[in-house]
Chain A
Amino acid sequence: MIEIKDIYKTFGDNDVLKGISATFQTGKNNLIIGGSGSGKTTLLKCIVGLHEPTKGQVFFEEENFTDMDFTQRVPIRTQIGMLFQNSALFDSMTVEQNIMFPLNLFTKQSAAEKLDRANFCLERVNLKDKNKLFPSELSGGMKKRVGIARAIAMQPKYLFVDEPNSGLDPKTSIVIDDLINDITNEYQMTTVVVTHDMNSVMGIGDHIIFLHQGQKWWEGSNKDIAHTYNKELNDFVFASKFMQAAKEKL
């Protein structure tokens, strides 16, 4: 479980996050949604420690992550897997080396054990036999799947995903969403996904936080979202005529 308490983040004069509190439950897909510039990615970066919150605290299983220094954070960070918007695979390494990288640094496994783990992770994301390819030789969807394989290599307790569907076609997006959902359930991870993709929201949104102008505007699940009377949320979710028509049929 991850708990965030009263998170503020300011860049110069720009207040990006204004007092956000939430709890992200284990074994659930926790989605942070909102329009462009609403502070979704900034909140995610504050949670994982890539940005330091101006005010507020982040707790991983009641351990205060915000007050820890770099060395104290390492044991928690080895339990974190993250998939970045552009996958952030290491260009100079092959797929296999990318997945084995955290294992090389933080485990005492033998080379054969690490290779087995890399092969298992690749098989889990349906990329068997792609070990020796470099990131530049992969499609966008394959890069995302390698990113997921690298994120789960250390068997993390927490999975963070930033815009998993950006730049992907609708079919591949659904494959990635299903993969995130399956992995979350299979390993009972606490998964936090930042997205503005409505297919993801309706498909895997066990718990959803809607951000608007740096504040938590709404909280619920994908089952509640169609029946809410929150104007800003409705404007965001049902922005297209297609979604409006779909809502009327519900």
Chain B
Amino acid sequence: MFHSLGKYVLLLRLSFRRPEKFSVYWAEVMREMVATGIGSLGIISIISIFIGAATTIQVAFQLSSPLVPLSIAGKIARDSTILEFSPTISALVLAGRVGSSIASQIGTMRVTEQIDALEIMGVNAPGYLIAPKIIACITMVPMLVIISIALGMTGGWIACLFGGEVTPADYIMGLRDGFMPLTIRVALVKAFVFGFIIASICAYQGFYTSGGALEVGQSATRGVVYSCVMILFADLVVTRLML
């Protein structure tokens, strides 16, 4: 375990060595941002709307008492969405979508000698392949989480509109009630950390793949599993430290 941790840290250090030519790396960062951000927008939008709607209905169901104002459903749904559902569930979905793609892409490049070809040319392969992916993830995951929060709340509003447990007016009143900007900061810190975890762990798994197609698949699976576990662990740590 310590051997792997050491290799992981050394790989990260190599990844952030001074690039051979900044413009080539910048183009790669932009390409990765589009692949990660725009490419994941669809799935993040769909899950956010459904999770927002389901959360609102469940909160309204559990708090159906004449003693509790209906607007509380909006307030609880808002805080749950901002603090937990949007960052964590988005990150778990992105670990599957983006992480597996990173691990299998780099793993395939390793087993087909494309990484050797980069090294022969004198290119710092970890820097060219991994750093742009990490930069793309730590910038795009927070943006996706912001979109996810907005769509999650919209999903809750739609559930109120068609469900009838809480009126849309009560829901919006709840959303506005006692809002703390700290919750957004916590969500963004989580998203940043999760983005780093997804890109770095999956890239590490891909970079040290050896063998053939079977091992590339195993690396992708390991990358996703380890990322998910580390996301949940980091979720606990960040929550404990910031709240």
Are A and B genuine complex partners?
yes
Q: How far is the CA of A101 from the CA of B114 in the complex (A)?
A: 13
Q: Pick the contact of B120 from A48, A70, A89, A90 — CB < 8 Å? A: A48
* A82 in the interface (beta carbon within 8 A): yes
**Which residue of chain A has its CB nearest to the CB of B121?**
A102
Main secondary structure of the interface of B (DSSP, over half): helix
Q: How far is the CA of A105 from the CA of B123 in the complex (A)?
A: 8
Which residues on the B side are within 8 Å of A74 (C-beta)?
Answer: 20, 122
Inter-subunit contact B122/A82 (CB<8 Å) = no
Contact of A80 with B120 at beta-carbon distance under 8 Å, contacts A105-B21, A105-B24 already known: yes
Inter-subunit contact A88/B116 (CB<8 Å) = yes
| B1-42 CB contacts (< 8 Å) to partner A | 20-21, 24
Q: Pick the contact of B114 from A73, A88, A104 — CB < 8 Å? A: A88
* B112 in the interface (beta carbon within 8 A): yes
| B121-138 CB contacts (< 8 Å) to partner A | 121-124
Inter-subunit contact B121/A105 (CB<8 Å) = yes
Inter-subunit contact A82/B20 (CB<8 Å) = no
Q: How far is the CA of A90 from the CA of B120 in the complex (A)?
A: 14
Most chain B CB atoms below 10 A, which of A50, A73, A85, A160:
A50
* B177 in the interface (beta carbon within 8 A): no
Which residues on the B side are within 8 Å of A104 (C-beta)?
Answer: 21, 24
Which residues on the B side are within 8 Å of A160 (C-beta)?
Answer: 120
Contact of A50 with B121 at beta-carbon distance under 8 Å, contacts A91-B114, A104-B21, A106-B20 already known: no
Q: How far is the CA of A50 from the CA of B21 in the complex (A)?
A: 22
Main secondary structure of the interface of A (DSSP, over half): mixed
**Which residue of chain A has its CB nearest to the CB of B124?**
A70
| A92-126 CB contacts (< 8 Å) to partner B | 101-102, 104-106
Which residues on the A side are within 8 Å of B108 (C-beta)?
Answer: 91
**Chain B proximity of A78: nearest CB distance (Å):** 5
**Which residue of chain B has its CB nearest to the CB of A48?**
B120
Q: How far is the CA of A90 from the CA of B109 in the complex (A)?
A: 8
Inter-subunit contact A73/B113 (CB<8 Å) = no
**Chain B proximity of A196: nearest CB distance (Å):** 18
Inter-subunit contact B116/A50 (CB<8 Å) = yes
Q: How far is the CA of A74 from the CA of B119 in the complex (A)?
A: 9
Q: How far is the CA of A91 from the CA of B117 in the complex (A)?
A: 12
Interface string of A56-94 (1 = CB under 8 A from B): 000000000000001001100110101011101111000
Q: How far is the CA of A184 from the CA of B170 in the complex (A)?
A: 80
Q: How far is the CA of A91 from the CA of B118 in the complex (A)?
A: 13
A-B contact pairs, 7 of them (CB 8 A): A49-B119, A50-B120, A80-B121, A89-B114, A91-B112, A91-B114, A106-B121
